[in-house]
Structure formats: structure tokens, C-alpha cells
């Protein structure tokens, strides 16, 4: 089964690589995985067993700790960028309403 095709958006800024929704990327990745499993069933089975063992052998504390550290590192820049975006949005909104008609 091949992932269904989504229409490309013409309003994207990068014309060489148009914007694609996350759902399309996930469908495409799952389609690629299914094709690989059909082409190479032995390798797909070995990869699945290896990933399963790796997930079960990793300590939960290490995985949760890594996720917490990465999340804490990203909170400040994300909040700052969201604040700047909102401030610019409010400034542009006020200036566009103050222009004479």
C-alpha cells in the first residue's frame, strides 16, 4: 500500500520543496517501511527485534531524564520566539488599523 498523495500548496515560500503536512510525511514513512518489509522480510524482522530489545534494555530513568533535559533546554528559546512573534503580531495589527483610509 502506497501512501496517498497530498496536493502541494502553491503558497509555500520554497518552490523547490513545497510544504507538506506532517500527516503526509508519516504516511510516506509508513509506506516506505511497509515496502521495505515486503522486499526484505528477514532484515525487517531483525530490525524490529533489535529495536524492541534496545527499548526494553534502556533504563526508564535515562530515557525520562534525557527527555526532561532536552525539554528544559528548549523551553526558553521556544517561549522567547513565541513572545516575539506575538509582539510583532500586535504591533503590525495596531499599525494597520491606524493607517488613514
Q: What is the model's pLDDT at position 101? A: 54
pLDDT in tens, the chain (101 residues): 455 555 554 554 555 666 678 888 899 999 999 999 999 999 999 999 998 888 888 888 888 898 899 999 999 999 999 999 999 988 888 766 665 55
Residues contacting residue 28 through CB under 8 Å, at least 6 positions apart: 3
Q: What is the model's pLDDT at position 24? A: 87
Q: What is the model's pLDDT at position 100? A: 59
Q: What is the model's pLDDT at position 50? A: 92
Phi-psi region of 74 (alpha: psi -120 to 50; beta: other; left: phi over 0): alpha
* Domain residue ranges of the chain, discontinuous segments joined by +: 14-57, 60-101
Length of the chain: 101
Q: What is the model's pLDDT at position 75? A: 93
17, 45 Cβ separation under 8 angstroms: no
Residues 89 and 83: their CA atoms lie apart, in Å, by: 10
Amino acid at each position: 500500500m502506497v501512501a496517498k498523495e497530498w496536493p502541494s500548496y502553491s503558497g509555500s515560500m520554497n518552490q523547490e520543496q513545497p510544504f507538506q503536512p506532517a500527516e503526509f510525511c508519516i504516511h510516506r514513512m509508513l509506506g516506505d517501511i511497509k515496502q521495505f518489509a515486503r522486499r526484505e522480510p528477514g532484515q525487517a524482522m531483525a530490525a524490529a527485534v533489535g529495536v524492541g530489545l534496545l527499548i526494553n534494555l534502556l533504563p526508564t530513568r535515562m530515557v525520562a531524564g534525557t527527555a526532561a533535559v532536552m525539554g528544559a533546554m528548549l523551553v526558553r528559546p521556544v517561549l522567547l520566539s513565541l513572545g516575539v512573534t506575538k509582539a510583532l503580531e500586535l504591533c503590525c495589527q495596531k499599525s494597520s488599523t491606524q493607517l488613514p483610509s
